[in-house]
């Protein structure tokens, strides 16, 4: 039965109960008169508690209350604190469209029958800490404006959190899901903490809004693979191309967690040991490799190598590997960015000092070079033509001169005039050229 059909069926049951079963109050006025601040704590409410569309103006206390039959809070409004701690619901608990303007405490509550929170609004903390749901529970379209706390909660049947909006932290620390759980189209905002949670059946994380931080550590009880590749960012976050959800996977069974690293970035809490971080990187790299996610593997491996180099103090080496060829993943950078870039830079520099380099530092002879050509250019009558011709000749000669130095396999000692500071500059061009050629040759051979 689909969640929608289940809601229709439960709505029909609620209508029947409200129509044919009278509301009976406990003797002695134990049942609260709506809005007067008395409490229902430790009372038995039977055969039903009908507070549909009622408004509680002050604190509503249902601590340890026992609802033997229908608990109808459909469209109820709680202006102040609402305490349902240790409450026991033996029949349907209907909180559809209920509005909690203040703290709502359902801690340690026991829901022995289905619970409906469809469309409920929690303006402040919604606390379901250590609560227990024996039957289906529906939070579809519920909105939590601040913290939603389901720490240590137990869901023994289907839990539907589809289309829920968590505007602040969502805490599912050590929560147990015995049956299917659906977070389809849910929107998380700041932090979603599933540390130590157990997923013993199917999980749907087709999230429409990933949180800033997703804590998914110490999760080893996973029955079916959890797939985050179907999750996406909300509209506002997606506009930032550099935005990624930080995810913590420490101590989890990563072999059963599938993610697309285009939307995620590994995050480690303060105090995480180097060994634990390395282990997490390597497990996730293996997972990407097994799943055939090559782009995700590349992005994570770049992070991994950067992390290791920085930790080991190899900052200079890390800088070189990162910008020289992106740790080997962008080998074309060696030719297009660095070799040609450095060659062009040397050509420009040599253009400025060409006559001096050629005549006083390192003389290079090639058949079409004649130093008298420069003197002939100066004798041209037209200034513009004379200047352009001079620049072209000097640039072409600088290009040939630099190329032979940069890509030459050897330098001739006889061509050096005398030892001077520019001599080391010539040697630098030669060494840098050899270095680039060695990398290009290595790339060709490896391919």
Sign of CA dihedral 339, 341, 344, 349: negative
Could you give the 3-state DSSP secondary structure of residue 180? coil
Mark whether 398 and 259 lie in a shared domain: no
pLDDT of residue 223: 94
299 occurs within a structural domain: no
Q: Hey, what are 135's tokens?
A: 């039957």
Q: How many residues does the chain have?
A: 447
pLDDT category, 396, cuts 50, 70, 90? Answer: confident
Of the spans 143-147, 420-424, 434-438, which averages the highest pLDDT? 143-147
Mark whether 69 and 196 lie in a shared domain: yes
Q: What is the mean pLDDT of residues 156-174?
A: 98
Mark whether 126 and 247 lie in a shared domain: yes
pLDDT of residue 414: 85
pLDDT of residue 385: 60
pLDDT of residue 441: 87
pLDDT of residue 395: 87
Q: What is the mean pLDDT of residues 403-424?
A: 88
pLDDT category, 202, cuts 50, 70, 90? Answer: very high
- The backbone torsions φ and ψ at residue 301, rounded to the nearest 5 degrees and listed phi first, read -65, -35
pLDDT of residue 8: 43
| pLDDT above 60 for 221 | yes
Q: What is the mean pLDDT of residues 260-272?
A: 95
321 occurs within a structural domain: no
Q: Which residues pair with 266 in a beta bridge?
A: 247
Mark whether 347 and 209 lie in a shared domain: no
pLDDT of residue 24: 36
314 occurs within a structural domain: no
pLDDT of residue 394: 82
End-of-domain residue from the set 265, 284, 300: 265
CA distance 137 to 157: 8
**Which residue would you say has higher pLDDT here, 43 or 219?**
219
Q: What is the mean pLDDT of residues 127-150?
A: 98
User: Chain-wide mean pLDDT for the chain?
Assistant: 87
Mark whether 381 and 260 lie in a shared domain: no
Using CA atoms, how far residue 7 sits from 43, 98, 261, 266, 290, in Å, is 29, 16, 36, 39, 40
309 occurs within a structural domain: no
pLDDT of residue 38: 47
| pLDDT above 60 for 381 | no
Mark whether 128 and 240 lie in a shared domain: yes
Could you give the 3-state DSSP secondary structure of residue 104? strand
pLDDT of residue 33: 33
pLDDT of residue 25: 37
Q: Hey, what are 143's tokens?
A: 């909105």
pLDDT tens, residue by residue, 58-67: 999 999 999 9
End-of-domain residue from the set 221, 239, 265: 265
End-of-domain residue from the set 247, 265, 283: 265
The residue range of the domain holding 37 is 3-265
| pLDDT above 70 for 126 | yes
304 occurs within a structural domain: no
For 346, other C-beta atoms within 10 Å of its C-beta total: 22
> Strands (DSSP E) along 11-51, which ranges?
44-45, 49-50
pLDDT category, 383, cuts 50, 70, 90? Answer: low
In the chain, what percentage of residues exceed pLDDT 70? Answer: 84
- pTM, 2 dp: 0.80
pLDDT of residue 354: 85
**Number of folded domains that form the chain:** 2
CA distance 117 to 126: 12
pLDDT tens, residue by residue, 175-191: 999 999 999 999 999 99
pLDDT tens, residue by residue, 19-33: 444 433 332 233 333
Q: Which residues pair with 77 in a beta bridge?
A: 55, 99
């Amino acid at each position: 039965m689909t969640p929608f059909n289940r809601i229709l069926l439960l709505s029909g049951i609620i209508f029947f109960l409200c129509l044919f079963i009278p509301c009976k109050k406990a003797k002695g006025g134990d049942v609260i008169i709506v809005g007067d601040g008395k409490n229902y704590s430790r009372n038995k409410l039977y055969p039903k508690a009908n507070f549909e569309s009622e408004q509680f103006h002050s604190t509503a206390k249902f601590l340890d209350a026992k609802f033997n039959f229908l608990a109808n809070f459909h469209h109820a409004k709680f202006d102040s604190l609402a305490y349902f701690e240790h409450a026991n619901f033996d029949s349907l608990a209907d909180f559809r469209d209920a509005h909690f303007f203040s703290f709502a405490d359902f801690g340690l509550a026991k829901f022995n029958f289905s619970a409906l929170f469809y469309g409920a609004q929690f303006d402040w903390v919604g606390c379901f800490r250590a609560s227990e749901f024996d039957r289906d529970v529906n939070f579809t379209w519920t909105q939590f404006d601040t913290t939603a706390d389901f720490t240590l909660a137990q869901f023994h049947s289907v839990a539907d959190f589809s289309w829920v909006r968590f505007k602040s932290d969502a805490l599912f620390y050590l929560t147990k899901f015995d049956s299917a759980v659906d977070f389809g189209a849910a929107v998380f905002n700041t932090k979603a903490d599933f540390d130590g949670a157990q997923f013993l059946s199917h999980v749907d994380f087709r999230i429409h809004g990933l949180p800033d931080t997703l804590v998914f550590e110490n999760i080893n009880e996973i029955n079916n693979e959890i797939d985050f590749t179907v999750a996406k960012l909300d509209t506002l976050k997606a506009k930032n191309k550099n935005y990624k959800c930080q995810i913590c996977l420490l101590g989890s069974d990563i072999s059963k967690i599938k993610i697309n690293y285009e939307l995620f970035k590994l995050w480690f809490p303060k105090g995480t040991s180097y060994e634990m971080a390395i282990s997490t990187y390597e497990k996730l790299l293996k997972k990407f490799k097994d799943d055939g996610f090559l782009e995700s593997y590349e992005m994570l491996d770049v992070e991994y190598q950067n992390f290791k180099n920085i930790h080991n103090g190899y900052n200079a080496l890390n800088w070189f590997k990162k910008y020289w060829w992106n740790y080997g993943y962008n080998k074309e950078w060696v030719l297009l960015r660095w070799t040609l870039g450095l060659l062009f830079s040397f050509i420009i520099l040599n253009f400025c000092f060409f006559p001096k380099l050629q005549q006083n530092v390192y003389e290079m002879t090639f058949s079409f070079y004649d130093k008298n050509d420069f003197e002939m250019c100066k004798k041209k009558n037209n200034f513009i033509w004379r200047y352009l011709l001079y620049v072209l000749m000097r640039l072409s000669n600088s290009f040939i001169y630099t190329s032979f130095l940069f890509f030459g396999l050897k330098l001739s000692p006889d061509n050096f005039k005398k030892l001077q500071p520019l001599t080391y500059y010539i040697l630098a061009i030669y060494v840098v050229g050899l270095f680039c050629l060695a990398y290009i040759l290595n790339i060709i051979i490896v391919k």
